[in-house]
Chains A and B, each alone.
Chain A
Amino acid sequence: MTASASLITGFVKRPAASGDSFVMLEQQSWDPKIGKVTRLDLIKALENSVLGSSNSLSVDCGVDFDGQSYTTIVYAYPSPADLRFKVGLTNGEFTAPTVVELTVREAVSFALETEQSLTYPVRRFVAAEWAADVWNEAGSVVARPAITRDGQTMSVPEPIYGTAYVEYTTVRYVYSANIPARSDDPENVFQSIFYAWWDGGIELLKLSAPDGAESSYSSQMNCWGERVLINPDDEDDPAAPSMVPTRNKEITLNYCDDF
């Protein structure tokens, strides 16, 4: 299994004085389609308006139904894999983790260097093989050197140009985090920091909300243009907000003559 290309948001620092132990934090990247109204969606809306059809109109905005929170996946990669650590969240809640060991296959490129780092902590090293020829500083093809590994660091004896495919396994803790809007704040309502600490260090990760979530919250209009009315009296029943479409003008058109 190949690890998905994930976005590391905010700052991710290495523990300052951790020896060999650390925890790497990562947030699952948002699908680029989130919050986007497609041409097909617009055609459905056009059909509804012009032909009186009743297509269901909805777009994944990346936030929960009422726009008051969003749910995201956070990964923690401990090194060593059996490191005992704890996690916390400054704003929101998270589930108990599921723990998986996944196989990662990644390309490691050397550009006149002798060392490169793998993305994730290595639980079990599987293989490393050169993807193509290897060149030296003079641009000559040279014999493919042996690749050695120390932790996450891959090394070759001499500076070379070349790319190697490296396969290894890593242990990943998967958390589902729900981040509510900070209703009293004028801005940055979805800011939250996920953190992990262990005997030896502390790691922080600023979580990213889906694109447009903040502006949708402030305008109370979701990403497909439907107004989300928040009634303060509904606080005890957040699952049932009032939703009123903004379409406020009925148009009677003769499809043959007017279009």
Chain B
Amino acid sequence: MTAATSLIASFTARESSGASGDIWAKLEQAYVVDSSDGANFNDLYQMLARAGSGESAMEYIYDQCPYARIDSDVLTVTLDFYVWVSSHDLHYTLSAGLGTISAGKVVELPRSFDVIFDDATSADLGFLFAGDFVPEMPFFSSTGQIMDDPVITASGSSVNLSVQATGALRATGLATGFKHTLTMQLSEIPVTNTDPYTGEETVLGGYSLENLQTAVTVSWVDGSGQTQSAILEIKVPECVESMVTICSDTTTLYRRKQSSGDPSYLVYYSACNGDILSEGWEEEEDK
């Protein structure tokens, strides 16, 4: 198996900021649509359509997994993550146990969420945020009395009330941070499957899935000169594992691309991974 060596890269934001207070960086994996855990009627119809027209239903699984591709027996997995920082000019270092990390790109993501004050005067948003804060309910004192709406102020990654209260705001605006892409490459490795009855060995191709487990670490220096770090366990989408599951079924199936007409066009493919093994016009002896 070939895996990309880990990369330690350091990045400095291109903008400066007057943000003060604690110095921090946080990691967040970009949203992963995890659709491989089940299938719905649409999936079934899509796969039936492919199987019935001479294509492999496996192609549909590949199409539904935008995080990975297999090219010349090399599996490439690409996953995005964000680095949220306390100020735009924070210098931070990234490293990954497996894979390479792209340079950061400044992003402004539209975000909308509830901010809850639990008998408090401030709430930490977790990222630099610019937007509107609208009260969603009356503000209450700790004894359950409705108060006049406190003055709301926002600065960097925090939002503050003029008095201690319990209540909720709706935040709508832009979160600012850095987006990086983690790229992992794995080559197909020979895997031997031994028949338990005959002892016959069959060499199969596969990818070592456990090597897809990885984490990203961000490090920075805080206000007292101490190096701090945070770790993000990267979630590999289940559909990636489905794509590279080692298959021991050596059955070859075929489909007619046209159900009528003479001769028919036949496609032979592997029942295991959907690879097309051969195709051509039906010959007399095939009938």
Contacts and interface: CB of A to CB of B under 8 A. Distances in A.
B41 A187 contact: no
Interface string B64-108: 000000000000000000000000000000000000000000000
B176 interface: no
B118 A186 contact: no
B14 interface: no
Contacts of B180: none
Contacts of B201: none
Contacts of B137: 88, 90, 193, 195
A102 interface: no
Contacts of A49: 44-45, 48
B42 A13 contact: no
Contacts of B40: 37, 59, 223-225
Question: By CB atoms of chain B within 10 A, which of A90, A206, A227 has the most?
Answer: A90
A87 to B, nearest CB: 11
Nearest to B52: A251
Contacts of B259: 252-254, 257-258
A201 B142 contact: yes
Contacts of A184: 172
B111 interface: yes
Interface residues of A, number: 53
Interface string B33-54: 1000011111111001100110
Contact of A197 (B33, B53, B140): B140
Interface in A2-29: 11, 13, 15-18
Interface stretch (A38-46, A103-111, A233-241): A38-46
Contacts of B255: 258
A246 B45 contact: yes
A224 B144 contact: no
Contact of A90 (B111, B136, B143): B136
A45 B114 contact: no
B140 A46 contact: no
A13 to B, nearest CB: 6
Contacts of B143: 17-18, 199-201
B190 interface: no
What are the 7 A-B residue pairs with the smallest beta carbon separation, nearest first?
A225-B42, A225-B40, A185-B112, A90-B136, A251-B52, A202-B140, A249-B49
Contact of B111 (A45, A187, A225): A187
Residue of A41, A202, A249 with most chain B CB atoms under a 10 A cut-off: A202
A45 B136 contact: no
Contacts of A198: 144
Interface in A103-139: none
A177 interface: no
Contacts of B140: 197, 202
A37 B39 contact: yes
Interface residues on B, range: 35 or more
B144 A45 contact: no
B144 A188 contact: no
A215 interface: yes
B113 A42 contact: no
Contact of A251 (B38, B53, B112): B53
A206 B116 contact: yes
B52 to A, nearest CB: 4
Interface string A208-232: 0000000100000101111100000
A191 interface: yes
Nearest to A200: B144
Given A16-B119, A186-B110, A258-B52, A204 B166 contact: yes
Given A251-B53, A252-B259, A185 B44 contact: no
B168 interface: yes
Given A45-B44, A226-B41, A258-B255, A188 B52 contact: no
Contacts of A225: 40-45
A218 to B, nearest CB: 10
A193 B142 contact: no
B112 A37 contact: no
B256 interface: yes
A57 interface: yes
Contacts of B144: 15, 18, 197-202
Nearest to B140: A202
Contacts of A18: 143-144
A35 to B, nearest CB: 9
